[in-house]
Structure 1
């Protein structure tokens, strides 16, 4: 999936003549904290809610001092590039531009979240396993071989490395809810199983948290 496929139709960029107050109105309506500023199809800046609150909201956004090289992605960039910019710059929208720097559209954090939520990785039933190992011991091929050896398939995997140690954490989702044999095989191959959850456990956990929240709100 590329950035172009996630461009929203609901939002339009700001013009340099738009005021900070107008920008805040759009941000409040769509629950975002950033908007691109576009002049004659050229992406000029990405303005944040803080930029406006620290200035005069009645002035046009062109009068604000904003970085001249706003973060953006190209249409054929992967959604992971969109996610990287969202996290790195703490954005709620990421502009999409062509190779000439012309503005094409924007992707919101809600668009990205919806994409992942609707993907088969999250929709398909299965189980989650969290493994821990040495950084040099990580091999997705071997992990897949163990899972497939027990008749299951890996639906997705996420790798997290810890900077201050040589440890790596691997989270996988498999398409089976009966993973007892797989967990035993991992331990037999000296993998540390930090946690595992099947679909029912995940649903029970979410229900428990929901009930706790409702009880708190009713107090």
Structure 2
């Protein structure tokens, strides 16, 4: 999945000749706190609601305010994981997308990202969750998949993270089955540490509630 596949044209763009008041109203109308400023198809940067509010004259044009614009962007050919990385590192709810000549193509919102990972990566599909803690040198997804498949199950989704010392991996596995007692016992027999496990229906309903709450928050 490339960034180009998630571009939305519903995010309005501002011009540097727009006033601060107009920008604030546009943000309010679209439930966004950041908007791109575009001139002659070129991205000038992202303006933040808080920066405009902190200016002494909201009726001034944006170019007169001398605001410190953010200028993060993603190329249309980059992987969706890069979009997530930029959004997380810079705490962005709007990520501008440009082509190889840095012409503005559109934007990806945080809501778009959440929808993609929740709906298109099987996170909300029925199935249990198993969390493993593995030493970095012992990590083999092929071995883990083999053990799980021997229990007549499949891995639908994988998320991996490392601890602060970079010595251990926390591997979260979304499976296509709800009964995972046999899988847990088999993993433990192969010396894998099962840190956590979550079975349906409790986990599935909790995930749906959390997802719906996040979508409501993003729409505030």
TM-score (norm 2): 0.87
Give the structure 2 partner of residue 213 of structure 1: none
Give the structure 2 partner of residue 135 of structure 1: 136
CA contact (8 A) 2:124 2:204 kept: no
Aligned CA distance change for structure 1 residues 31 and 185 (closer, same or farther; 3 Å):
same
Give the structure 2 partner of residue 66 of structure 1: 68
Distance 1:94 1:2 in 2: 14
SS of residue matched to 1:122 = coil
Q: Structure 2: 5+ residue runs without aligned partners?
A: 211-220
Give the structure 2 partner of residue 217 of structure 1: none
Give the structure 1 partner of residue 50 of structure 2: 50
**Residue correspondence of structure 1 range 117-128 to structure 2 within 5 A:** 117-128=118-129
Deviation at 1:9, TM superposition (A): 2.6
Deviation at 1:113, TM superposition (A): 1.1
**Residue correspondence of structure 1 range 57-96 to structure 2 within 5 A:** 57-63=58-64, 64-67=66-69, 70-96=71-97
Give the structure 2 partner of residue 152 of structure 1: 153
Give the structure 1 partner of residue 185 of structure 2: 184
SS of residue matched to 2:77 = coil
Give the structure 1 partner of residue 214 of structure 2: none
Distance 1:145 1:184 in 2: 14
Deviation at 1:204, TM superposition (A): 5.4
Query: How many positions carry a matched residue from both structures?
Result: 208
Aligned CA distance change for structure 1 residues 187 and 7 (closer, same or farther; 3 Å):
same
Spell out structure 1 runs of 4+ moving beyond 3 A: 203-209
**Larger CA deviation: 91-100 vs 161-170:** 161-170
SS of residue matched to 1:10 = coil
Deviation at 1:29, TM superposition (A): 2.2
Distance 1:89 1:156 in 2: 26
Give the structure 1 partner of residue 15 of structure 2: 15
Distance 2:16 2:94 in 1: 18
Deviation at 1:120, TM superposition (A): 4.7
Distance 1:51 1:138 in 2: 46
The C-alpha deviation readout for 1:158-190, integer Å capped at 9, x for no partner, is: 111012352211001011111111100111111
Q: Structure 1: 5+ residue runs without aligned partners?
A: 210-219
CA contact (8 A) 1:159 1:170 kept: yes
Aligned CA distance change for structure 1 residues 76 and 30 (closer, same or farther; 3 Å):
same
Give the structure 1 partner of residue 197 of structure 2: 196
